[in-house]
Chains A and B, each alone.
Chain A
Amino acid sequence: MKGLGYLEETILLLVMIMEGEVYGYAVSKAYEEHMDKSISISAVHAVLSRLEKKGFISSYMGGATEERGGRKKRIFQATDEGRKVIADIKASRLKLWNLLPSLK
């Protein structure tokens, strides 16, 4: 099975969570909003393309807007494989969480 790094996992989750158009800059904003950490646009782009290469997300070129200077966005969405890998991660983590005696 293909591995998933921490940042990749987070970004993949964000792609699944986010409503509306999911593209590079939007993801970086969402990351900053949810994680309270800053991230560069280029890092997000690199992770997204890695995820796409691994087949967890797919993309198509979407609409152009005025503020982008008329340039199109690459819109991402999670694939079934992506959803599955997240579910797997959650299940395995939960199993471990449950084994933890107490979290103090």
Chain B
Amino acid sequence: MNNHKDPQKTAPPKWADDFLQWFCSEELLEEIQGDLVEAYHERAAEYGRSTANRLFIKDVLLFFKPYAFEKYSDAKQFLPMFDNYLKIAIRNILHRKGLTTINLLGLSVGISAVLLISFYLNYELTYDQSFPENEQIYRLMNDYRVQTYTNMRFRDYYNSSREVQQILPRKLKQYDEVKHVCQFITSQSDIGGGDSYYLEFEDQQFVLENALFTNTGKGFQELFPQTFILGTPSQAFGDWQKIVLTEKIAELCFGPTWRQQDIIGKQLTLADETYELGGVIAEMPGNTHFNFDFIVHRAEIPSWGAYIYLKLKPEGAIRSVLTKLNAEIDQIFPGYTEDELSKGVRSISLTDIHFTGGNLYELKEVVNLNYLYTFGLIALLILGTIWINYANLSVAMYADRQKEMAMRKVLGARAKDISFQLLMEAMLLSILCFPISWVLLWTLIPYLNELMSIELAPSIMLQWRSNVVLLSLLLIIGFASGIYPAILFSRKPTITLFGKRASTVPIHRRVNLKDVLLTTQFVIVVGLLSITLFIYQQMEYVRTKDLGFQTEGVMYFGLNGQEKYQQIRTQLMKLPETQSVGANSVPGSEMFNQLTYKMKDTDYVYSDGTYLEMDYGALKTLGIDCDACHLLDEGKDQVFIINQTAAEKLAKVKGGSIYELIGETLISEPEWENEEFGYGIPYNIEGIIDDYKFFSLKYPNQPLLMTVYRESPWVYVVLVKAKTDHWPTTISSIKKAYLEVESELPFTYTFLDDHMDELYKRERRSGILLGTLSFVVIVLALIGLGGIVSYIATSREKEIGIRKVLGASVSDILYRLNKRFFILMGMATALALPVSILLSLRWLENFAYHIDPNPWWVLSTGIASCLIVVIIVTLQGWKAAHKHPIETLRTD
């Protein structure tokens, strides 16, 4: 090929040119390439380079047809052409129906699993990226004590007036860098109260769960634009007391014809306040870090703080905003800098929120990136397994076709033609998988959604991008597994192909590619199985571990106010099935704000205390023993107790045993200067209780400082323990009692053991997904193994025949067949052992309380897999071992 003198400037796209050279027959290449290059230069001169490039590519692609392939070749009369290849390929596929079906199914299932994982990963990794210019959006976070709050507080907490709530947003808007600001809470968030609401209009009443309260509607629309189906943003956020419903809620309230109705401007009542309907919006995508059912635009946010976001101008830097804000922070929160506990305001960028754990009150559960990497790795493992399978099976399949290849070579087929034919066959088979995988994916996406609790629309399969990915994956697998036989057969001298079939069986060599591939597969199988097993064991462990309190028959529901509580308690205690009723501090919590504490007259200050308040009924309901609580029965109003962990820490500083602490004084928040006590708040330690797992088992025992009341002065949640014999009637009796005392908020309850399970739902889901995927890998590997063994058994028929003639029994032969696989399995188990133990330990580190992965389980998995392998080998080898030697030996 001659290069043009200035290829940099005026050469046509190189890849297209190379492609042309690749497929075009040599005889035609010169004239075609010449014409195209000539046309290219003319067009470049006339229309410019990009048009010329485009037309060149188009022309090359138009040439890609049989005409240009081998027209003038001298050998063409003898060469079976394109259509012949196709015919042979189809015949072969039909000829081996069993093998083809196994191959097709295996490939389809495997590829579908890989694609499902990539959909899931894509969903998680593109969190919050649907918001425009998301890289310029940040949320403010407050460092307080040793923890980071994902929300900002209002200056006067719950008592902040509407003007006070706007101080921080207004301040931020004054900065040059800032374009828009908004703040909101969602009612299901940790600072939103978690209540449900009644929405009423025209005598109808609906229970709605997740409200988003904002007093900066315009900013909200700028940062997180909502698509209005009815109404406009200015109608919705132009004034206070407006409600915006999502489609789903609009349909619930106004029926399926809500689009046709004139509902904008309707008066709705929410928690005894009147609002005007300002619009109906489309659902947000599921992968956003907050969600809601309806927006309430209101002058005051009903909480002690809000999540506050800002969008910067493109040239603005968040660092300078924070510097300015922290310098002026006292204007917003008087006394902020003097307060030793306040450590400053920081920011998190919108797209990092979903991946950043360890902060307080995050709106939605965050995701552990390590889990995502693990799933990505498993997708690769599955791809590897499929490829290994497919390559192994095709080597086996093509081994019988040596003579066909030899014939073709004799008739003039060149190495290139043989490779082309074999590659085409491999890729044809993989293309056949396309419809199967497509249907599988379409069916499985809803299950994936349910399992991982995500919202992936099955219509993702109608997007061209998903289909291109699916098809290219299939083609790559087809190509990668066809390339080995293609090269093998095309390179081999013709005469050896006519020879004995066994020549391609490298069974006598010490190490060969097939063994390496098989061992790798088994390592994957044993490793995944063991890890799944350890995850299952850990999940069982957290489910059955003694938490130090009882969950059996305990349920709880939200209720605000001491009077209502006293009324409902009286009502509930009248029910024969009720055993006890209590208020506040439901265990099974994620971490929340911690405080500092120390013993009086010592200097060492701990900063990891958790302060709890509850009534005696709550302790009784949970079945927690409290010696000091008899004081309450004797007429004391409240007792202060600490748990054993706290006692041990304090005793270490104080010296002496933990029981000597009883009667001593503990100071909480000793750095807080106040008029009443000087520094901190003193508590007289009246008792020590055994540790109980107030927090998730992911965390070690925390020091608990608890005030137990005879009659709690404030109530937000009610715990009930009842006999479990007739739960439905018990629940409805409780509901009846609830509705008598509370008319504003709907009744929603949770069973304590369900709540405890919720704590580990992400781990459990990941475990189930991993288990399912391991199952896919195992089935794929076994399919591949079956193919290999049947191939080996048939290709060793003659050897088996001779052995039988020389006196070997069937069991001797089966032993010989099994031996090799046994060794491979043993090696695989040995390799999988450390890997799976290490990976499991990494995962188990997420839990303060966890099982110790026992290596024996890995060995057992290895042995179990071994048994399955033996069964498969024996079944496949049975036929070969039972064949009469005369049948196998008389040929040739």
Spell out A's residues near B (CB within 8 Å).
Answer: 23-25, 28, 40-43, 45-46, 49, 61, 64-74
Is B600 interfacial (CB-CB < 8 Å)? no
Q: Which residues of A contact B2 (CB under 8 A)?
A: 69-71
* Distance of B431 from chain A, by nearest CB (Å): 25
Measured between alpha carbons, how far is A6 from B400 in the docked complex, in Å?
49
- Pairwise interchain contact B36-A23, C-beta atoms closer than 8 A: no
- Which of A40, A45, A67, A69 has the most CB atoms of chain B within a 10 A radius of its CB? A69
- Pairwise interchain contact A72-B38, C-beta atoms closer than 8 A: no
B-side interface size class: 20 to 34
Q: Which residues of A contact B3 (CB under 8 A)?
A: 69
- Pairwise interchain contact B34-A42, C-beta atoms closer than 8 A: no
Partner of A24, one of B31, B42, B62: B31
Partner of A45, one of B4, B37, B58, B67: B67
Contacts known (A25-B39, A65-B38); A72 close to B31, Cβ less than 8 A = yes
- Pairwise interchain contact B34-A45, C-beta atoms closer than 8 A: no
- Which of B3, B28, B37 has the most CB atoms of chain A within a 10 A radius of its CB? B37
- Pairwise interchain contact A67-B41, C-beta atoms closer than 8 A: yes
- Pairwise interchain contact B63-A42, C-beta atoms closer than 8 A: yes
* Distance of B230 from chain A, by nearest CB (Å): 49
Q: Which residues of B contact A41 (CB under 8 A)?
A: 32, 35-36, 39, 59, 62-63
Is B71 interfacial (CB-CB < 8 Å)? yes
Measured between alpha carbons, how far is A68 from B3 in the docked complex, in Å?
10
Q: Which residues of A contact B38 (CB under 8 A)?
A: 25, 65, 67-68
* Distance of B82 from chain A, by nearest CB (Å): 16
- Pairwise interchain contact B34-A69, C-beta atoms closer than 8 A: yes
- Pairwise interchain contact A40-B59, C-beta atoms closer than 8 A: yes
Q: Which residues of A contact B39 (CB under 8 A)?
A: 25, 28, 41
Q: List 17 A-B contacts (CB under 8 A).
A: A24-B35, A28-B39, A40-B62, A42-B32, A42-B65, A43-B62, A45-B35, A45-B67, A49-B67, A66-B5, A69-B33, A69-B34, A70-B2, A70-B4, A71-B33, A71-B34, A73-B35
Measured between alpha carbons, how far is A49 from B63 in the docked complex, in Å?
13
Q: Which residues of A contact B42 (CB under 8 A)?
A: 67
- Pairwise interchain contact B31-A71, C-beta atoms closer than 8 A: yes
- Pairwise interchain contact B37-A23, C-beta atoms closer than 8 A: no
Q: Which residues of B contact A67 (CB under 8 A)?
A: 37-38, 41-42
- Pairwise interchain contact A45-B33, C-beta atoms closer than 8 A: no
- Pairwise interchain contact A72-B34, C-beta atoms closer than 8 A: yes
- Beta-carbon nearest neighbor of B42 in chain A: A67
Q: Which residues of B contact A74 (CB under 8 A)?
A: 31
Contacts known (A69-B4, A71-B37); A42 close to B31, Cβ less than 8 A = no
* Distance of B73 from chain A, by nearest CB (Å): 13
- Beta-carbon nearest neighbor of B37 in chain A: A69
The 6 closest A-B pairs by CB, nearest first: A71-B34, A25-B35, A70-B2, A68-B34, A42-B62, A74-B31
Measured between alpha carbons, how far is A61 from B30 in the docked complex, in Å?
10
* Distance of A78 from chain B, by nearest CB (Å): 18
Measured between alpha carbons, how far is A25 from B31 in the docked complex, in Å?
9
Q: Which residues of B contact A24 (CB under 8 A)?
A: 31-32, 35
Interface string of B1-19 (1 = CB under 8 A from A): 0111100000000000000
* Distance of B43 from chain A, by nearest CB (Å): 11
- Beta-carbon nearest neighbor of A68 in chain B: B34
- Which of B30, B34, B59, B67 has the most CB atoms of chain A within a 10 A radius of its CB? B34
- Beta-carbon nearest neighbor of A44 in chain B: B35
* Distance of A47 from chain B, by nearest CB (Å): 10
CB-CB contacts below 8 Å: B33-75 with A: 33-39, 41-42, 58-59, 62-63, 65, 67-68, 71
Q: Which residues of A contact B37 (CB under 8 A)?
A: 67-69, 71
Measured between alpha carbons, how far is A65 from B59 in the docked complex, in Å?
21
Measured between alpha carbons, how far is A64 from B1 in the docked complex, in Å?
13
- Pairwise interchain contact A73-B31, C-beta atoms closer than 8 A: yes
Q: Which residues of B contact A45 (CB under 8 A)?
A: 28, 31-32, 35, 63, 67-68
Measured between alpha carbons, how far is A72 from B2 in the docked complex, in Å?
11
- Beta-carbon nearest neighbor of A64 in chain B: B34
* Distance of A38 from chain B, by nearest CB (Å): 10
- Beta-carbon nearest neighbor of B41 in chain A: A67
- Which of A68, A72, A74 has the most CB atoms of chain B within a 10 A radius of its CB? A68
Partner of A72, one of B5, B30, B59, B67: B30
- Beta-carbon nearest neighbor of A62 in chain B: B31
- Beta-carbon nearest neighbor of A72 in chain B: B30
Measured between alpha carbons, how far is A68 from B38 in the docked complex, in Å?
5
Q: What would 10 more interface pairs be, CB under 8 Å, given A25-B36, A49-B67, A72-B30? A: A25-B34, A25-B35, A40-B58, A42-B63, A42-B65, A46-B67, A66-B5, A69-B2, A69-B4, A73-B34
Measured between alpha carbons, how far is A57 from B4 in the docked complex, in Å?
31
Interface string of B362-405 (1 = CB under 8 A from A): 00000000000000000000000000000000000000000000
Q: Which residues of A contact B5 (CB under 8 A)?
A: 66
Q: Which residues of A contact B68 (CB under 8 A)?
A: 42, 45
* Distance of A26 from chain B, by nearest CB (Å): 9
Q: Which residues of A contact B33 (CB under 8 A)?
A: 69, 71
* Distance of B34 from chain A, by nearest CB (Å): 3
* Distance of B786 from chain A, by nearest CB (Å): 47
Measured between alpha carbons, how far is A102 from B38 in the docked complex, in Å?
46
Measured between alpha carbons, how far is A68 from B34 in the docked complex, in Å?
5
- Pairwise interchain contact A49-B71, C-beta atoms closer than 8 A: yes
* Distance of A67 from chain B, by nearest CB (Å): 5
Measured between alpha carbons, how far is A72 from B71 in the docked complex, in Å?
18
CB-CB contacts below 8 Å: B417-457 with A: none
- Beta-carbon nearest neighbor of A24 in chain B: B35
- Pairwise interchain contact A23-B4, C-beta atoms closer than 8 A: no
Q: Which residues of B contact A23 (CB under 8 A)?
A: 31, 35
* Distance of B53 from chain A, by nearest CB (Å): 15
Q: Which residues of A contact B31 (CB under 8 A)?
A: 23-24, 45, 61, 71-74
- Beta-carbon nearest neighbor of A74 in chain B: B31
Q: Which residues of B contact A65 (CB under 8 A)?
A: 38
Measured between alpha carbons, how far is A23 from B42 in the docked complex, in Å?
16
- Beta-carbon nearest neighbor of A46 in chain B: B67
Q: Which residues of B contact A25 (CB under 8 A)?
A: 34-36, 38-39
- Beta-carbon nearest neighbor of A71 in chain B: B34
Measured between alpha carbons, how far is A43 from B71 in the docked complex, in Å?
15
Q: Which residues of A contact B35 (CB under 8 A)?
A: 23-25, 41, 45, 68, 73
Measured between alpha carbons, how far is A67 from B41 in the docked complex, in Å?
7
Measured between alpha carbons, how far is A10 from B440 in the docked complex, in Å?
52
CB-CB contacts below 8 Å: B613-667 with A: none
- Beta-carbon nearest neighbor of A45 in chain B: B32
- Beta-carbon nearest neighbor of B72 in chain A: A49
Contacts known (A42-B68, A45-B35, A45-B67); A71 close to B30, Cβ less than 8 A = yes
Q: Which residues of B contact A46 (CB under 8 A)?
A: 65, 67
Measured between alpha carbons, how far is A52 from B5 in the docked complex, in Å?
34
- Which of B3, B30, B33, B71 has the most CB atoms of chain A within a 10 A radius of its CB? B30
- Beta-carbon nearest neighbor of B4 in chain A: A69
Q: Which residues of B contact A42 (CB under 8 A)?
A: 32, 59, 62-63, 65, 67-68
* Distance of A72 from chain B, by nearest CB (Å): 6
Q: Which residues of B contact A69 (CB under 8 A)?
A: 2-4, 33-34, 37
Measured between alpha carbons, how far is A75 from B517 in the docked complex, in Å?
55
Measured between alpha carbons, how far is A28 from B5 in the docked complex, in Å?
26
* Distance of B233 from chain A, by nearest CB (Å): 49
Measured between alpha carbons, how far is A72 from B65 in the docked complex, in Å?
22
* Distance of B136 from chain A, by nearest CB (Å): 47
Measured between alpha carbons, how far is A61 from B32 in the docked complex, in Å?
12
Measured between alpha carbons, how far is A46 from B38 in the docked complex, in Å?
18
- Which of B2, B32, B35, B71 has the most CB atoms of chain A within a 10 A radius of its CB? B35
Measured between alpha carbons, how far is A68 from B32 in the docked complex, in Å?
10
Measured between alpha carbons, how far is A71 from B41 in the docked complex, in Å?
14
